[in-house]
Amino acid sequence: MTARVPAPAFAWRTGPLLALALVLALVPWHAVPAAEPLVSFETDAQRERYDRLLEEYRCLKCQNQDLAGSNAALAGDLRREIRTRIIEGADDQVIDEYLVARYGDFVRYKPRFGGINLVLWLGPFVLLAIGLGAGWTMARRGRREEGAGHPAAAREVDESALNEARRLLDGR
């Protein structure tokens, strides 16, 4: 009955490891840009346009990332196409048409205002208006009924039923 559990030989290491894990968890990995060979532009204006456009379009492979933040091969291809077009001097509309013609409206992170997308843009406000309207109507009706007294009080009571009730309550 003297089975002693030997102390784990590596116990002393868990402390530093835990500390390292905690430190690593604190590094803002999401802010580390996707690996990409540095792209060069002739002017700063071109670079600014490039950076802005990459945030406006979606990577379709990993749908909740923009082109700037995605590591998918498809995002790399689209970044390359956008860069080529910027250097060629294409304006934003040309680039937008290029992407939308291939991947549809969904490639835009911010949906276009118009057409079927109006449902998306205005739907919540319409629903809010309906909700507020319904709430207001119900509140107004409630107040009117309060003013008229409780509806049950106004109801005529059958005289024989009342007598029956009295009889029961008085215990004959």
Judged by the rule CB under 8 A, the positions of this chain that interact with another protein are 60-61, 63, 73-74, 77-78, 81, 100-106, 134
Spatial distance between the Cα atoms of 72 and 80, rounded to a whole number of angstroms: 13
Rank residues 52 and 102 by Cβ distance to another protein and give the closer one.
Answer: 102
Spatial distance between the Cα atoms of 34 and 72, rounded to a whole number of angstroms: 9
Residue 96, amino acid? D
Rank residues 17 and 130 by Cβ distance to another protein and give the closer one.
Answer: 130
Least CB distance to another protein at residue 74 (A)? 6
Rank residues 43 and 84 by Cβ distance to another protein and give the closer one.
Answer: 84
Least CB distance to another protein at residue 80 (A)? 9
Least CB distance to another protein at residue 146 (A)? 19
Least CB distance to another protein at residue 102 (A)? 4
Q: Where are the alpha helices (DSSP H) in 27-158?
A: 44-56, 73-88, 92-103, 117-147
Residue 57 has φ and ψ, to the nearest 5°, of -120, 150
DSSP assigned state of 89: T
Rank residues 77 and 91 by Cβ distance to another protein and give the closer one.
Answer: 77
The four Cα atoms 17, 22, 23, 29 give a dihedral, to 10 degrees, of 120
Least CB distance to another protein at residue 60 (A)? 4
3-state helix, strand, coil in the chain (%, to 5): 65, 0, 35
The answer to whether 95 and 85 have CB atoms below 8 angstroms apart is: yes
Rank residues 47 and 100 by Cβ distance to another protein and give the closer one.
Answer: 100
